[in-house]
């Protein structure tokens, strides 16, 4: 997640999987996962271009675009998409393999599924990293 100060004379640039971003003061995320980049604007606006697609967009708060997705930005629930910044991860009808892959992004000791069939099971749930107060509970 990037929180960029407003400085039009000194724009902030990011390149990820064929997308080029130019920001002059906003909060946005760039997630690179499974060979694609996903850009989500939390507040403000970000200029995004995809030279290979010969396209460019101006994303505003609550919009998202993927390097391999539909050819235009779409609306997202920014609060749900950025819960990871508070230590919360949620899943709604995803494969267990995808849930494990996501949890491993934050794990000191990655989980491994030894059975591909188990990885295809669908799961829903939430996880919260423990706070210092939680770690003191018996």
**Domain containing residue 67: CATH number:** 2.60.120.1440
Domain extent, residue 99, equals 89-124
> Does residue 133 sit within a domain?
no
Q: What is the pTM of this model?
A: 0.71
**Considering the domain boundaries, does residue 83 fall inside one?**
no
Q: Residue 75's pLDDT is what?
A: 95
Residues 7 and 69 in one domain: yes
- What is the rounded distance in angstroms from the CA atom of residue 29 to the CA atom of residue 2? 6
Report the alpha-carbon distance of residue 19 to residue 17 in Å, rounded.
6
Distance CA 3, CA 82 (A): 13
Same domain, 55 and 120: no
Residue 15 and residue 72 in one domain: yes
DSSP state of 67: T
Do 67 and 20 meet the contact criterion of CB atoms below 8 Å apart? no
Residue 40: per-residue pLDDT: 93
Per-residue pLDDT for 135 more than 60?
A: no
Measured distance CA(66)–CA(77) in Å, rounded: 15
What is the pLDDT of the chain when averaged over all its residues? 84
Task: Give CA–CA dist 64/110, Å, rounded.
Answer: 28
The single-letter DSSP state of residue 114 is S
Distance of CA 83 to the CA centre of its chain: 10
Residue 99 belongs to some domain of the structure: yes
Average pLDDT in the 108-137 region?
A: 77
Q: How confident is the model over 17-66, as pLDDT tens digits?
A: 888 878 767 899 998 887 888 999 999 889 898 888 888 899 999 999 99
60 lies in the same domain as 95: no
Residues 12-26 as b/e (b if ≥16 CB within 10 A, e otherwise) read bebebbebebebbbb
Same domain as 68, residue 40: yes
Give the pLDDT of residue 21.
Answer: 79
In a domain, 84, yes or no: no
Report the pLDDT value the prediction gives residue 130, as an integer from 0 to 100.
54
Domain assignment present for residue 7? The answer is yes
Q: What is the pLDDT of residue 129?
A: 64
């Amino acid at each position: 997640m990037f929180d960029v100060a407003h400085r039009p004379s000194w724009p902030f640039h990011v390149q990820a999987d064929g997308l080029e971003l130019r920001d002059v003061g906003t909060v946005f995320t760039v997630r690179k996962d499974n060979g694609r980049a996903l850009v989500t604007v939390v507040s403000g606006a970000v200029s995004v271009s995809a030279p290979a697609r010969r396209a460019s967009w101006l994303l505003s708060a609550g919009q998202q675009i993927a390097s391999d997705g539909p050819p235009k930005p779409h609306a997202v629930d920014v609060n749900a998409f950025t819960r990871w910044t508070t230590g919360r991860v949620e899943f709604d009808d995803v494969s267990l393999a995808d849930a494990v892959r996501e949890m491993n992004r934050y794990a000191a000791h990655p989980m491994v599924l030894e059975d591909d069939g188990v990885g295809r099971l669908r799961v829903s749930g939430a996880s919260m990293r423990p706070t210092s107060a939680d770690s003191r509970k018996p």
